[in-house]
Amino acid sequence: MDNHLHFLLRIDVEQASQWSAIEVAKRWMTLYLPHGSDRKPLNVTDEFLKLKADNATWVAATRKRLSSLGWFMKCLKEPLARLANKQDGCTGAFFEGRYKSIAILDEEALLSVCAYIDLNPVGEGMREGFTLCQYSLLVDYTSRLERDGKRR
């Protein structure tokens, strides 16, 4: 969609709690490559990871962030909000009132949300002249790519 996103996320705090300190450091550095004082990316070495992993306070805070919906949303929306605010010449909470989440508590709710997300382009497309047949072809094509391992 060109005007909104849908995400279905599973946050497994229990699994995150079982990661080793090195695993936490590796996952964080995969997402956030560290930079030096000259703002150039640093090379993440085994020694660097060990140094981070030996800092129990950093590991605990980072583990919490890696398993937090709020942190995920912050990291997702911050770059876009900064760009839009710069273009509009303003400051403030760009996404204020736009971030919504619901808890999926059972399989029926999960199925309902999956159907809503999957069929959302159909409803949007109907307003823009996108036919159900075109949507069906798109779903078939993307499903085939997933089965063939060409899409992740």
Residues 110-147 have pLDDT tens digits of 888 888 887 777 666 555 555 555 555 555 545 555 55
Asked if residue 97 belongs to a domain, the reply is no
- Token couple for 121: 């382009």
Closest CA to 76 of 64, 63, 94, 90: 94
How much is the pLDDT for 78? 83
Asked if residue 106 belongs to a domain, the reply is yes
Asked if residue 136 belongs to a domain, the reply is yes
pLDDT bucket at 69, cuts 50 / 70 / 90: confident
**How large is the greatest C-alpha to C-alpha distance in the chain, in angstroms?**
57
Asked if residue 72 belongs to a domain, the reply is no
Do the beta carbons of residue 35 and residue 42 sit within 8 Å? yes
pTM as predicted: 0.61
pLDDT bucket at 152, cuts 50 / 70 / 90: very low
Asked if residue 91 belongs to a domain, the reply is no
Distance of alpha carbon 80 from alpha carbon 86, whole angstroms: 10
Q: Rg of the chain over CA atoms, in angstroms?
A: 20
Res. 66: pLDDT tops 90? yes
Asked if residue 81 belongs to a domain, the reply is no
Mean confidence (pLDDT) of the chain: 79
Asked if residue 4 belongs to a domain, the reply is no
Distance of alpha carbon 75 from alpha carbon 78, whole angstroms: 6
Asked if residue 143 belongs to a domain, the reply is yes
Closest CA to 94 of 84, 104, 102: 84
Res. 101: pLDDT tops 60? yes
Structural domains counted in the chain = 1
% of the chain at pLDDT higher than 70: 72
User: What is the domain extent for residue 150?
Assistant: 102-152
